[in-house]
């Protein structure tokens, strides 16, 4: 009797197949997926899980075996019970139970039953027997190539035009003609001027189009470096207090700030350097945030289906990832709003509402990061930093990792 064959037949049509006394198989259908990295297309797939707590006999498997084997219900039940007894003995001795085209069961290091599915067989009938397909990426012209193509075609058209033999303009003064009429020479329009005007218009149009397509990147650069431009501040003191940690500003005096004298309103002769100890500048706010979050993580190695053959394979000691379920209460967390001596911050987002910024800080800290509110920009937006560093190399290395794993829109703030 092939138990795996009967279980596999039922998995095509049913979402739950229970082996009385051993556990139950649950199915979960996955839609069509596209991998943008490997350019692979996968058909609908049926993921199979194993639940050791589903041991009650629902009659589905036993009735199916009785019909296929043409035996009585009690006889089929006895055969299933005998198979379950053999499975428990095999697991206790450290062996794997393999089910053909379904998967295998085995004990991990903590004596928990683990199921590994055989992904070569797809039990989703909507896949129509299709397998994954890899398609090469479609190559499209970049903006730079389009600009070069337009400029090249414009130059080629200009070369085909006939050049005037004599570029000098002859001006004839009053010439008497028959009838007493006078003729005045007119200056012809230069073709070179028309060509230059046309090229200038094309270049300006392409520049405006490129800036519009890169508007998000330009906005990021503006937010990053606008604080270093003195003309955005109403007074010299505001500019110096915002950039006091910069090397060229820390020792700046009133006499060296004459590049915008119309901003000066006081008669101070020297701008005192701020206290270098950032601990004197810290303003800590305690936020009471209580949230209930249910974090459901799927096991990377889900339990899969059994085979009637028992092989002498040792148990793999590596335990699978355990499902994490529960509720986390966010405790009162002091959030630092003033920068420390670290000058490099990886920014995850900006918020006009301070409560939302603190909520993101709490969420990132629960994930293991050392998040904090870095500062507020001139628009009053609270910048939330995932991590902070005292050197650029470490900051840039971690920025790449965070963009790949946590936040693709993260960017580096330098103070």
Is 315 part of a structural domain of the chain? no
- Judge if 19 and 112 occupy the same domain: yes
Residue 204: which residues within 8 A CB-CB, separation 6 or more? none
Residue carrying structure tokens 């979402």: 15
- Judge if 257 and 352 occupy the same domain: no
The average confidence (pLDDT) of the chain is: 72
Is 167 part of a structural domain of the chain? no
pLDDT at 97 over 80: yes
Query: Across-strand partners of 385?
Result: 347, 372
pLDDT tens digits for range 363-383: 999 999 999 999 998 888 999
The rounded distance, in Å, linking the Cα atoms of 307 and 301 is: 18
- Judge if 349 and 260 occupy the same domain: no
Domain that holds residue 41: 3-118
Q: Could you give phi then psi for residue 199, rounded to 5 degrees?
A: -65, -40
Is 372 part of a structural domain of the chain? yes
Which is higher by pLDDT, 353 or 121? 353
pLDDT at 394 over 80: yes
User: Which of the listed residues 118, 148, 183 is the one where a domain comes to its end?
Assistant: 118
- Judge if 10 and 109 occupy the same domain: yes
Q: The tokens of 40 are what? A: 């692979």
Query: Across-strand partners of 28?
Result: 47
Is 250 part of a structural domain of the chain? yes
| 94-98, 153-157, 181-185, range with the lowest pLDDT | 181-185
Q: Under a CB-based contact definition with an 8 Å cutoff, are residues 23 and 51 in contact?
A: yes
Q: Under a CB-based contact definition with an 8 Å cutoff, are residues 246 and 274 in contact?
A: no
User: Which of the listed residues 118, 148, 168 is the one where a domain comes to its end?
Assistant: 118
Is 43 part of a structural domain of the chain? yes
Number of residues assigned to the chain? 415
Percentage of the chain modeled with pLDDT above 70: 64
Closest by alpha carbon to 25, among 45, 4, 42?
A: 4
Which is higher by pLDDT, 304 or 217? 217
pLDDT at 206 over 90: yes
| 129-143, 172-186, 227-241, 399-413, range with the lowest pLDDT | 172-186
User: Which of the listed residues 70, 91, 118 is the one where a domain comes to its end?
Assistant: 118
Is 389 part of a structural domain of the chain? yes
- Rounded to two decimals, what is the model's pTM? 0.34
pLDDT tens digits for range 227-281: 666 666 666 555 655 555 454 444 444 444 444 444 444 433 333 333 333 333 3
CATH number where 354 lies: 3.30.70.1070
- Judge if 90 and 9 occupy the same domain: yes
- What letter would DSSP give residue 186? -
Q: Could you give phi then psi for residue 269, rounded to 5 degrees?
A: -95, -20
Is 296 part of a structural domain of the chain? no
Is 123 part of a structural domain of the chain? no
Residue carrying structure tokens 């829109």: 409
DSSP 3-state of 318: coil
- pLDDT score for 31: 82
- The DSSP annotation for 78-139 comes to HHHHHHHHHHHHHHHTT-EEEETTTEEEEE-TTS-EEEEE-TTS---GGGTT---EE-PPPP
- With vertex at residue 216, the alpha carbon angle to CA 212 and CA 219, rounded to the nearest 5 degrees, is 100
CA distances from 98 to 19, 69, 77, 116 (A): 15, 22, 21, 10
- Judge if 267 and 342 occupy the same domain: no
Q: How many domains does the chain contain in total?
A: 3
- pLDDT score for 347: 94
């Amino acid at each position: 009797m092939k138990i795996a064959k009967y279980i596999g037949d039922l998995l095509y049509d049913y979402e739950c197949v229970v082996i009385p006394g051993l556990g139950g198989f649950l199915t979960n259908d996955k839609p069509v997926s596209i991998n943008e990295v490997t350019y692979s297309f996968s058909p609908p797939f049926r993921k199979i899980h194993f639940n050791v707590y589903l041991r009650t006999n629902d009659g589905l498997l036993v009735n199916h075996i009785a019909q296929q084997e043409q035996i009585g219900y009690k006889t089929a039940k006895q055969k299933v019970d005998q198979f379950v007894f053999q499975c428990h003995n095999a697991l206790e001795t450290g062996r794997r139970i393999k089910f053909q085209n379904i998967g295998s069961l085995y004990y991990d290091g903590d004596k928990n039953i683990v199921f590994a599915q055989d992904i070569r067989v797809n039990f989703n009938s909507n896949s129509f027997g299709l397998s994954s397909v890899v398609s090469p990426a479609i190559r499209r012209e970049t903006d730079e190539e389009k600009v070069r193509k337009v400029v090249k075609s414009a130059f080629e058209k200009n070369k085909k035009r006939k050049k005037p033999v004599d570029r000098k303009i002859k001006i004839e003064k009053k010439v008497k003609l028959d009838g007493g009429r006078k003729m005045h020479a007119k200056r012809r329009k230069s073709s070179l001027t028309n060509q230059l005007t046309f090229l200038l218009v094309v270049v300006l149009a392409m520049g405006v189009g490129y800036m519009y397509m890169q508007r998000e990147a330009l906005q990021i650069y503006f937010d990053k470096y606008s604080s270093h431009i003195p003309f955005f501040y109403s007074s010299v003191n505001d500019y110096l207090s915002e950039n006091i940690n910069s090397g060229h500003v820390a020792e700046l005096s009133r006499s060296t700030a004459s590049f915008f004298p119309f901003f000066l309103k006081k008669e101070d002769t020297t701008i005192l350097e701020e206290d270098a100890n950032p601990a004197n500048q810290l303003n800590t706010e305690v936020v009471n945030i209580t949230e209930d979050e249910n974090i459901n993580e799927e096991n990377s190695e889900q339990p899969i289906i059994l085979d009637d053959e028992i092989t002498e394979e040792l148990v793999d000691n590596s335990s699978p990832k355990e499902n994490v379920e529960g509720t986390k209460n966010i405790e009162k967390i002091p959030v630092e709003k003033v920068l420390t001596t670290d000058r490099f911050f990886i920014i995850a987002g900006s918020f006009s509402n301070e409560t939302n910024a603190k909520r993101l800080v709490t969420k990132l800290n629960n994930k293991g990061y050392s998040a904090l509110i870095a500062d507020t920009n001139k628009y009053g937006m609270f910048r939330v930093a995932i991590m902070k560093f005292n050197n650029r190399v470490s900051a840039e290395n971690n920025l790449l990792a965070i963009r790949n794993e946590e936040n693709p829109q993260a960017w580096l703030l330098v103070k």
